[in-house]
Structure formats: structure tokens, C-alpha cells
Amino acid sequence: MNGPISRMIAHTVGMNHSFATQAVHAGREDLAELGVHAPPIDLSTTYPAVDSHVEADRISRFAAGLQPPGSPLYSRLHNPTVGRFESALATLEKAEAAVGFASGMAALTACLLAAVAAGKPHVVAVRPLYGGSDHLLNCGLLGTRISWAEPGRVGDAIEADTGLVIVETPANPTLTEVDLAALAAECGEVPLLVDNTVATPVTQRPLEHGASIVLHSATKFLGGHGDVMGGVVACGEEFAVRLRQIRIATGGILDPFGAYLLHRGLATLPVRVAAQSATAAELADRLADDRRVSVVHYPGRSPRRPGQMESGGAMLSFEVVGDATRVVAAVGLITPAVSLGSVDSLIQHPASLTHRIVEETDRQSCGVNAAMLRLSVGLEAVEDLWADLDQALKAA
């Protein structure tokens, strides 16, 4: 069951297969040979290590961020079920490699530690980001130093010790879009990390637009059912080696059952995102025509630029004329909760919850105001969602 590890099975789903086919088959290439239909879940924490001399060499190679074939030795070093998910996600993001983590924040932490370890602790980032990411960068907990810059000013903000440029597009929670190709050009030799959680690889593959690193809170659309927490970074093999070194040393690995659920989620990702996006676009139109709403933020409403998403996606935010918090309190079908990307719709007040940890002046500077609500559109029927929003807006 230990099977071939992720590096060995990556990309055997043909590049000439469509994205939807890759979503179903990637990371499953060896299943027929194993005589099974569903990917096995390997819950082992440890593995027999009979020949200590051989294993001594292998453990050194794992610690160096490599993936030697054979027994994983210990599941903090490698887990085959995690490897399958990593291989599949790398295929979908068109990356050489992917590295799974316990959460999106653990994934971001590893990227920041890699920059610090490389002697390049300065980070340039574009607001808004998810509030937790903003906080981690702004507080400098991991030894990074932050400069916030708008697109077009990023190049000027880069210094000799800049290790990363970070952007989230569409951004959480404003859904602001950034032209990735233009931003990548500003970055020059500095790696551009794109948080692709909201976009998903269905609508945007940042590596195709000049980014070097793609980060996901896999908890969101990749899992898609609100029942698994994880994070993943898709990147070149060289950076993946550094991330695996950090993951082994710090222990923020994705668990095998979580990896199984995330891998299963990838199979339906294209159809979920397509259906949820169609509903979100319709709701965005109706909200834009509603006098109880002052502004709707939804990607793709202006002429498309190169590097923009291929569709509007399943997230929208809107600003309420009345008290936004009363809308949250009044929804019935929609769940008032943080998180996003699930099969069921979620609504939340960013100024109170996801972006509470960001200083108010910083929130205001990037458009996260008290009137704003963020809606993650699920798979419910559009008329049922609209009826719920309509009655909740009446309450406000």
C-alpha cells in the first residue's frame, strides 16, 4: 500500500486530457494495478524499518526535503495518501510539485519560514488578503518584515532582501482582481505567491500568468463540503524541497484522512465551481438591482483583462444600506458562518469575523467596511437562495 510516492506518479494523467478529466483521474494512476477502485487511506504513523543502515540514509534524504522511494518511515516525513492529493493538485495547478499542510495558515507559515531561512525576510503584499494572512504578515511573528503595496507600486517596494510578493486574487473579502501577468512582471526575480483559494484552479491557474507559488486553503473549494481542514502549496520542485524540509521540522503536515477527502473533492471541483458560479452571477445581478444594497462586488463585471479569472466564481460580497449584521442574523437557509467554498451557502460580516484581527484603519484602506457582507454561494437552487436573501434584507 505504500506504493509509488507523489513525485513518481505526478503528471501521468496526460497533459492532453482536459481539466475535468484530470480532476477525476489525477493521483489515481496506480489504482488498477493495486486492484482497487478507491484510493487506499494509509493511517500508519510509523513503518517497519528493518535495515537501520539503509533507513539512516533514507531519513537523511527525507530531512533534506527529498522523497526517496520505498517505505515512508514515519508519517510526518511522508504519507502516501497525502502524496496522492499533492500529485493531483499539482496536475490541476500545472505545477511540478505540491506540498500539503494541516491548514491554509500552516501552508502560508511554511512559505514565510522558507523566505526567512533563505535570508530574505522582507515580504511585499497587496491588500486585501484573508484577515488571518494579513495579521500573520503584519505582526511579524515569523521574523518577516512587511511592506504593503498596491499593484503598480510593488516593483518600487521590492528591496534586496525581499523573499516573496504575496497577493490574493480575487481577494478575500472584496473580490478585487489583480492582473497577475502585470504583477509578475513587477516582481522580476522575486517569487510571486498567489493565494488561489477563492479562484480555484478551475477559473485561474496563476503559474500560467507568471506566478511561482500557488497557495490554497484546501478547507474551502478543494474539499468543498465543509468537513475537512487543510492547506496546500503548488510550486516548482526546488521550492517544494524547502517546504518539505520545513514541514518535517515543524510538523504541520496534512493528515491522511483529510488528504483522502481533499483528493475526493477534486473530482467534483469543476462541476461544483461551474454550478455555484452560475448561481452567484445571478444573485450578483439581482443584488445589484436592489435598492437595499449599495454596492455589489463580483469578479468579471468589467471587461476582462489578461490574467483575470475565466468566470466570476462562486463568491460575492455586497454592501447593505441598512445594518449588515441584521442580514446575517436573519438568514434561514443560508448558514451564518465563516469559511467558504462549501456545497451549502455561507454568509458572514468580514469586519466582525474574518477580518476582525486586521486594524480598522487597515481594513478601511482596502475597502473592508462595516456595510460589507461576504456570501459564499453553494449548490442550492437560486430561487431558494434569493428568497432567503430577500427576507433577510427586509429585516435589515
- Window 165-184: contact mask with ligand MET (x via CB under 6 A): -------x------------
Q: In this complex, which beta carbon is closest to ligand MET, that of residue 211 or of residue 340?
A: 340
Minimum distance from residue 3 beta carbon to ligand MET (Å): 33
Minimum distance from residue 143 beta carbon to ligand MET (Å): 23
Minimum distance from residue 173 beta carbon to ligand MET (Å): 7
Q: Catalytic: 260?
A: no
CB count in 10 Å sphere of residue 137: 24
**How many residues belong to the site for ligand MET (CB under 6 A)?**
8
Are 336 and 325 in contact, with CB atoms under 8 Å apart? no
Minimum distance from residue 172 beta carbon to ligand MET (Å): 5
Q: Which amino acid is at 147?
A: S
Run of H or E including 374: strand 372-376
Of 58, 84, 127, 220, catalytic: 220
Q: Is 130 in the site for ligand MET (CB under 6 A)?
A: yes
Minimum distance from residue 217 beta carbon to ligand MET (Å): 6
Site for ligand MET in 297-326 (CB under 6 A): none
- Window 202-221: contact mask with ligand MET (x via CB under 6 A): ---------------x----
Q: Strand pairing of 293-297 and 231-235?
A: unpaired
Run of H or E including 233: strand 231-235
Are 183 and 151 in contact, with CB atoms under 8 Å apart? yes
Q: Catalytic: 247?
A: no
Strand, helix or coil for residue 192: strand
Q: Catalytic: 120?
A: no
Q: In this complex, which beta carbon is closest to ligand MET, that of residue 22 or of residue 354?
A: 354
Q: What are phi and psi of 246, to 5 degrees?
A: -65, -40
Are 396 and 322 in contact, with CB atoms under 8 Å apart? yes
Q: Is 138 in the site for ligand MET (CB under 6 A)?
A: no
Of 42, 130, 205, 255, catalytic: 130
Site for ligand MET in 326-385 (CB under 6 A): 338-340, 353-354
R_g (Cα) of the chain, nearest Å: 21
Minimum distance from residue 230 beta carbon to ligand MET (Å): 12
Closest CB to ligand MET belongs to which residue?
A: 338
Cα–Cα distance for residue pair 211/167, rounded to 1 Å: 10
Of 42, 134, 195, 255, catalytic: 195
Q: In this complex, which beta carbon is closest to ligand MET, that of residue 173 or of residue 191?
A: 173
Q: In this complex, which beta carbon is closest to ligand MET, that of residue 84 or of residue 127?
A: 127
Q: In this complex, which beta carbon is closest to ligand MET, that of residue 146 or of residue 340?
A: 340
HEC string of 157-180 equals HCCCCEEEEEEECCCCCCCCCCCH
> What are the residues whose beta carbons fall under 8 Å from the beta carbon of 2, sequence distance 6 or more?
42, 47, 70, 71, 72, 80
DSSP 74: B
Q: Which of 91, 136, 80 is nearest to 113 (CA)?
A: 136
Cα–Cα distance for residue pair 287/329, rounded to 1 Å: 18
Q: In this complex, which beta carbon is closest to ligand MET, that of residue 105 or of residue 164?
A: 105
Residues with catalytic roles: 76, 130, 195, 220
Residues that bind ligand MET (CB under 6 A): 130, 172, 217, 338-340, 353-354
